[in-house]
Structure 1
Amino acid sequence: MTQARRLLAIAQTGLHYSTEAFDRERYEEILRIAHVQLAELADMQTEEVVQLFAREEGYANPKLDVRCAVFDDTGQVLLVREAADGCWSLPGGWADIGASPAENAIREVREESGYSVTIARLLAVWDMPKHGHPPSVFHIWKLVFLGELGRLGEISGIETNAAGFFHIDTLPPLSLGRILPQQIRKLYELRCNGGVEFD
């Protein structure tokens, strides 16, 4: 998966900077090869992969996933149930342009769980391929902030359909493409000892 994503990045960046017709033709061929490889590795149709990357232009960069770890007074962690797979995750998602990473985290918690939070600090910056997540066609960096619990409102987003607090040793089935059990335990540890972890 790593090699296919790298080929895709080389092709995308090459197409952005190249002005020679011969070079552009070669980068387009590399792009087609990368699409086919990613589709095979992700068990998708090639056209699905093409559509996923259709709007990716310019210099190729990792995608940024912003999450928020929120713990209650008993040390239980706030999780939301993802509508896409029925499994649970920390509130979060792709970072939106026009807001800071912390602002994105606050919005995601509010939309997905109904809770308002303030951001206390950054807990982790993870390069997802280094952590054993299931393969993804995207290269993803994950920022996880520590959120301080505020008032409860209503879930307003459509990507989640439930929220609840869980003990870190009795977690429900997790959406492993988004968060791993050992990562939640590490976030709890970082919260307690004041640390930050980064790749």
Structure 2
Amino acid sequence: MIDQLRQYQRMLSIAEAGLFYGKDVYDIERFQEVKDIALTLLSEAVDQETSVLKLYLDKQDGYPTPKVDVRALIRQEDKVLLVQDRATKEWSLPGGYAEVGLTPKENIQKEVLEETGLHVAVGPLRAIFDTNLREDIPQLFQYYKLVFACEVISGAFAANSETVQSHYFELEDLPTLSMKRTTKEQLVQLVQDNQLYVE
């Protein structure tokens, strides 16, 4: 199923690229038809209504590319800082979508401050995870997750619109994780050595 999902994603991106660059009216009609077929196939693969997927895609602009997600690895001895999502009550490394106009490090500092109330110094890039290589949770879009090591400078947690609490956890005693955002396997990879990990 994961291989099929990747093929459907690829078909969709080719159709969107054709719609973005196409000039001939007949080619545009064909690319639109391919996009509609890809959306129907994807809706079955990710168990989501086609109308909902169209809403996601209608917000996209320009040439289709993978999305960028930035995450902070903040450690306290053998523990890792996680935040609890307000809506799902699941936990993950602090972070989120990278915003245009900010560097990756500025994005990390912004996300960590918003979700934890902490000011951090951003250290080296520790990992790049490609969500398309995961076989456990099908996702509509492909994401590149950039994880940076960070150190706390100052601040304290305050509940906000995104997260309700933050806490340091040992890897052997993790809470319910947001599997689309952070997995135990990723956390283990991040803490076991100081080498850059790229999927």
Q: What TM-score do the two structures reach when normalised by structure 2?
A: 0.93
Matched length? 195
The one-character-per-residue Cα deviations of 1:163-191 (angstroms, maximum 9, x if unpaired) are 1110112111100011110110111123x
- 1:26 and 1:46 map into 2 onto residues whose CA distance is 19
The one-character-per-residue Cα deviations of 1:3-56 (angstroms, maximum 9, x if unpaired) are 111111001101111100110000000111122122222211111000001022
> 1:140 maps to what in 2?
143
> 2:19 maps to what in 1?
15
> 2:170 maps to what in 1?
167
Secondary structure at the counterpart of residue 172 of structure 2? coil
Secondary structure at the counterpart of residue 6 of structure 1? helix
Q: What TM-score do the two structures reach when normalised by structure 1?
A: 0.93
* Identity among equivalent pairs (%): 34
Secondary structure at the counterpart of residue 101 of structure 2? coil
The one-character-per-residue Cα deviations of 1:137-194 (angstroms, maximum 9, x if unpaired) are 011111000001121234364121111110112111100011110110111123xxx3
Residue 133 (structure 1) shift: 4.6
C-alpha RMSD of the superposition: 1.3
- 2:65 and 2:107 map into 1 onto residues whose CA distance is 19
Residue 82 (structure 1) shift: 1.2
Contact 2:157 2:166 in 1 (8 A): no
- 2:73 and 2:190 map into 1 onto residues whose CA distance is 7
The 4+ residue runs of structure 1 with deviation greater than 4 A are none
Structure 1, unaligned stretches of length 5 or more?
A: none
Structure 2, unaligned stretches of length 5 or more?
A: none
> 2:195 maps to what in 1?
195
The residue type paired with residue 196 of structure 1 is L
Secondary structure at the counterpart of residue 99 of structure 2? coil
Contact 2:84 2:90 in 1 (8 A): yes
- 1:142 and 1:19 map into 2 onto residues whose CA distance is 34
Residue 104 (structure 1) shift: 0.6
- 2:141 and 2:196 map into 1 onto residues whose CA distance is 25
Contact 1:95 1:104 in 2 (8 A): yes
> 1:125 maps to what in 2?
128
The residue type paired with residue 86 of structure 2 is A
Contact 1:68 1:147 in 2 (8 A): yes
- 1:138 and 1:27 map into 2 onto residues whose CA distance is 19
